[in-house]
Amino acid sequence: MWLLKDTPALFTDLYELTMAQVYFKKRMAETAYFEVYIRKLPENWGFFVMAGLDEVGTLLREFRFSQADIDYLRSIKLFTEDFLQYLATLKPDVKIRSLPEGTVFFPDEPVMEVAGPLICAQLLESYILNILGFSIIQATLATRISVAAKDAAVVDFGLRRCQGPVASLRSARAAQMAGFRATSNMFAARELDFTPSGTMAHSFIHVHESQEQAFRDFAEEYGENSILLVDTYDCIEGIKQAAELARQLHEEKNMKLRGIRIDSGDLVVLSKFAREHFRQQGVPFLKIFVSGDLDEFAIEELLARGAQVDGFGVGTRLAVSRFAPAVEIVYKIVQYGDRAVFKTSPGKETRPGRKTIKRIKDGHYERDIISPLKSDTDDLLKPFESAEKMPTIQQRLTSELSAIDDSIKATRSPAKYPVEFSQNSP
């Protein structure tokens, strides 16, 4: 999928192009190896989940400078005509090794290696970082939320608060990967073949003469798909009205309304009241959905306090990754031609040379070892051509999660998974 009208090549920083022109003039065209990794975990996170390869695949297929791009570059008077002509025909002739999507990984581990002629590999930096950074954040956070929600359904409600339409798609795809049941985002639902889900807004109640009438109108149209929003006025009263309508429709038409949504107030108290009330009124089939500033911390606490919830709607706090809106993801050259290279700025040291990751397993995952690349090594990084199908990715993530200790997956203060650099590592 390529959502944008324009070609992707100009989604780059000026310095990638100014450096490229020097490489072009100096004929510096040996193979460069760039490594993508994340320096550290956000607070309370114990692992990352790989994601974003769908967009990387599209970037590689669609990457080219259009005539409009070339004309623009000419206009800024930094580039010579021979270099512009070179760019006009440039193809992203790179080879990629990557963790497959849905793989669990840890800081310092290379998640991707981009290898190719120096100019090509360099020009992809900005956009690959943009894709992988947020996609990994979203896949990891959606996984944390799924883990916290246990058996309850989770639905993505983030469209209105995420930082743009492409972000909304990255977020919905991550939710799908992590086992969310559905998304409210219709564009994402179509694009990803992901179940759309939605109920009603408070405005629906307001424009009706009464809440009862609003509930009736909705149920008349959507029957057993109806989820009634009960907290516009007094929530307890709303729960009672929903139960009464459900009881009537069940008696008169043998119809079972789907449930209710509570979007404010004390969700523990209100959901417990609703469950008990529905039982007493003979409508125990009504499901209880809750929403409103939820994340893995809130969900864990609600469940610990005994909230009666069949489904969580998660919006803002997933969509913008409230507590970790960015990670320190970097794209560092580790080898140029035959020469391993590294940087020694204080606090930003890098390890030179191409690498593999080996995962030591004994039923569960014990530790990872990062070593210099050798052809015969068992390696978590695999040659990447194009994205896998979603069920494959979902299954991988499920299997990965069952292989790592619960202590690593803890919502707060997780244990540290051991990652070592091998002895013969530089």
CB of 164 to a second copy, least distance (A): 4
CB of 107 to a second copy, least distance (A): 17
Comparing CB distances to a second copy, the nearer of 293 and 420 is: 293
CA distance 79 to 83: 7
Q: Which region among 103-111, 232-240, 247-255, 395-403 touches a second copy (by CB under 8 A)? A: 232-240
For residue 35, the cross-strand partners are 113, 332
Contact flag: residue 11 with a second copy (CB under 8 A): yes
Q: Assess 70 for contact with a second copy (CB under 8 A).
A: no
Binders of a second copy among residues 155 to 184 (CB under 8 A) are 157, 159-168, 170, 184
Judged by CB under 8 A, the chain residues 102 through 121 that form the site for a second copy are 118
Choice from 84, 255, 341, 390 touching a second copy (CB under 8 A):
341
Measured in degrees and rounded to the nearest 5, phi and psi for residue 314 equal -115, 125
Per CB under 8 A, contacts with a second copy among 119-138 are 122, 125-127, 129-130, 133-134
**Rounded CA gap, 333 and 351, in Å?**
10
Residue choice 44, 264, 394, 425 for contact with a second copy (CB under 8 A): 264
**How many residues line the site for a second copy (CB under 8 A)?**
100
> Which CB, 113 or 231, lies closer to a second copy?
231
Check: CB of residue 132 under 8 Å from CB of residue 47: no
Q: Is 426 in the site for a second copy (CB under 8 A)?
A: no
Q: Tell me which residue of 51, 52, 54, 49 sits closest to 140, measured CA to CA.
A: 49
Min dist. Cβ of residue 403 to a second copy (A): 30
Enumerate residues 6+ apart whose C-beta is below 8 A from 222.
none
Q: For a second copy, which stretch binds (CB under 8 A), given 153-161, 366-374, 404-412, 418-426?
A: 153-161
Q: What φ, ψ does residue 87 adopt, rounded to 5°?
A: -60, -35
Asked if 72 touches a second copy (CB under 8 A), the answer is yes
DSSP strand pairing (364-372 vs 382-384): unpaired
- Asked whether position 363 contacts a second copy by CB under 8 A, the answer is no
Extract long-range pairs of 146-151: CB within 8 Å, 24+ residues apart: 146/178, 146/179, 146/180, 147/296, 147/401, 147/409, 147/411, 148/296, 148/297, 148/299, 148/300, 148/303, 148/411, 149/299, 149/303, 149/312, 150/303
CA distance 38 to 26: 32
| Stretch of residues binding a second copy (CB under 8 A), selected from 86-94, 105-113, 331-339, 407-415 | 331-339
What is the closest distance, in whole angstroms, from the C-beta atom of residue 362 to a second copy in the complex? 37
DSSP state at residue 224 = G
* 285 belongs to the binding site for a second copy (CB under 8 A): no
**Shortest distance in whole angstroms from residue 62 CB to a second copy:** 11
